[in-house]
A and B are shown apart, each in its own frame.
Chain A
């Protein structure tokens, strides 16, 4: 069966520090991968998605970037965090073709 792992679960980082969140999927190949953010009082905002290695689509201009160095690995990064980057970050995967997503357990990021 397919599983998705996301870590860390919680993170407190100072403003201006770098960020790296990692997500990996097991039990499937060539998944579509997604990074979402749930900010306080807001819905799930799509940040990045990838349909293959090295293929990244950005949905919202921001202080973040994403990379997919391996088929089942998706990384969310920032060189310098802002206070506004605080939120709950979710990784998800899908088999594509309109099938629903499976989400990871999320990372609560607090920038102080």
Chain B
């Protein structure tokens, strides 16, 4: 039962353009969402988060949008840079179980020159 889904396993974007990574969830009890970035042979690092009481959070080139009615969130990277090439994981927390994060399957982003 995959509660957090990232349906695009990979995405290729030209440098300078916008990258949009999508994430869908099924659990209406999720109240906090996070994006992590992972390079090969390294642990994931926190990128940006959003609470369910908001619909947008921005941090520099990274913006996360949350559509609760559609149970959908997206990560926008503008402009994309080659160093952004990595695997991106969406994660969510259920307010009833604050100790655990549920991760999606990840999307591999490649930014080419």
Q: Which residues of A are interface residues toward B (Cβ below 8 A)?
A: 6, 9, 32, 34, 36, 42-46, 49, 51, 88, 90, 92, 94, 96-98, 100-106, 108
Contacts and interface: CB of A to CB of B under 8 A. Distances in A.
B43 A44 contact: no
Interface residues of B, number: 25
Contacts of A51: 99
Tell me which of B42, B43, B44 has the highest count of chain A C-beta atoms within 10 A of its own C-beta: B43
Nearest to B31: A98
B46 interface: yes
Given A96-B98, A96-B99, A108 B34 contact: no
B70 interface: no
Pairs A-B, 7 closest by C-beta atoms:
A103-B43, A43-B105, A44-B103, A98-B98, A100-B46, A106-B43, A103-B44
A49 B99 CA distance: 8
Contacts of B34: 100
The secondary-structure label for the interface of chain A is: strand
For B34, B101, B102, the residue with the greatest tally of chain A CB atoms inside 10 Å of its CB is B101
Given A98-B93, A100-B49, A101-B46, A106 B101 contact: no
B57 to A, nearest CB: 13
A4 to B, nearest CB: 8
Contacts of A49: 99-100
B44 A108 contact: no
| Max chain B Cβ within 10 angstroms of own Cβ: one of A45, A103, A105 | A103
